[in-house]
Amino acid sequence: MNANDRTPADLLRSALASDPGRPLVTFYDDATGERVELSVATFANWVAKTANLLQGDLAAEPGDRAVLLLPAHWQTAVWLLACSSVGVVADVGGDPASADLVVSGPDSLDAARACSGERVALALRPLGGRFPQPPAGFADYAVEVPGQGDRFAPYAPVDPDETALVVDGVELTGSELVERARADAGRLGIGPGARVLSGQSYATWDGLSVGLYGALAAGGSVVLCRNLDRLGEGGLEKRVEDERVGVIRP
């Protein structure tokens, strides 16, 4: 944590400088049995590669709007931080028809085709796997991102007072996002080293805050759970114990 951090990308850089080896995002999909744990360093590497894809291959510029048609998922978290790194507005669940580019999961490809700009598709398969058959009109994220550079530098500095996020009709600048995330972390009791379990959707600010930004702002980590309703009796309690969770928002 650094009091001078004013964008989500700043928060990630501070986390990387402070303790790169600690867990940042642990992801479960209880429909498939998938579990992925990303340290700060691993997560930051994915963010750098994705930001390079955005800025380079997709020619995204600060102020461009990327509609994210994605569920709460570790790769969605990567895209949110990559957008912040470039200065691209991350519009969660927005209208692809008016977007500069769209990033879609496998269940929203038809809606994403309304975007006349660049289109990227995520298979959301275990271990970041690619589509068995690439969807027509889309770049397959799992094919495009591995060859990107491991370090990222924006062509232009990111302005913390420009819009960084749009979710559920709410627009937030980078600095407003960081302030709200810090306030939420304080209210929920998320501090350095805290583990936060979230089963909430990324379609609202509350879901994004508890499932990513709050922990990032406070020096904690998140246990992000998709399809949490598939857990059997006692499954949640066991996960809380196994993952040493201190804050629960199922």
Question: Average of pLDDT values for 204-210?
Answer: 97
Q: What is the pLDDT of residue 94?
A: 97
pLDDT confidence of residue 1: 62
2: pLDDT strictly greater than 80: no
Token digits for 58? 């997709």
* CATH class of the domain comprising 8-249: alpha beta
Range 205-228 average pLDDT: 97
Q: What is the mean pLDDT of residues 53-67?
A: 97
Q: What is the rounded average pLDDT for all residues in the chain?
A: 96
Q: Residue 242: what pLDDT? A: 95
- List all residues 6 or more positions away from 40 whose beta carbon is below 8 Å from its beta carbon: 12, 15, 16, 19, 20, 21, 22, 23, 24
Q: What is the mean pLDDT of residues 111-124?
A: 97
Mean per-residue pLDDT, 188-202: 96
Domain boundaries, the chain: 8-249
pLDDT confidence tier of residue 25, bands split at 50, 70 and 90: very high
Over the Cα atoms of the chain, what is R_g?
17
CA 250/CA 248 separation, integer angstroms: 6
- Residue 54's nearest CA partner among 133, 145, 156, 186 is 145
Helix (H) or strand (E) holding 68: strand 65-69
pLDDT for residue 250:
82
